């Protein structure tokens, strides 16, 4: 997946979890949980959606790598 695909996947997953969240307003190094006001269940559902959408298993130990857009793009593009 390239950065554009990852951004689109993240936006699509977020739309189902927090429709009011606007990913385009979040900087690459901002904490997604804080910037989008995601609680722990929202973030878990976000990770599950990313995993399903990308076809990559994401172990719980890697969740902190996905706290920012920059980390998310690096993780899913590898």
Report pLDDT digits (tens) over 3-31: 999 999 999 999 999 999 899 999 999 99
Evaluate whether residue 44 is within a structural domain. yes
Evaluate whether residue 47 is within a structural domain. yes
**pTM of the shown model:** 0.91
Q: How does DSSP assign 35-52, residue by residue?
A: HTT--HHHHHHHHHHHHH
Domain span at residue 9 reads 3-18+32-77
Cβ pair 10, 69 in contact under 8 A: yes
Domain count, the chain: 1
Q: Which residues contact 51 (CB under 8 A, 6 or more apart)?
A: 57, 58
Report pLDDT digits (tens) over 60-73: 999 999 999 999 99
Evaluate whether residue 24 is within a structural domain. no
């Amino acid at each position: 997946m390239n950065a554009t695909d990852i951004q689109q996947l993240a936006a699509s997953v977020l739309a189902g979890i927090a429709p009011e969240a606007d990913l385009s307003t979040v900087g690459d190094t901002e904490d997604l949980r804080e910037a989008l006001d995601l609680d722990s269940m929202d973030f878990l559902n976000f990770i599950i959606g990313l995993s399903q959408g990308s076809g990559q298993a994401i172990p719980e130990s890697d969740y902190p790598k996905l706290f920012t857009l920059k980390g998310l793009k690096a993780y899913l593009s590898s």
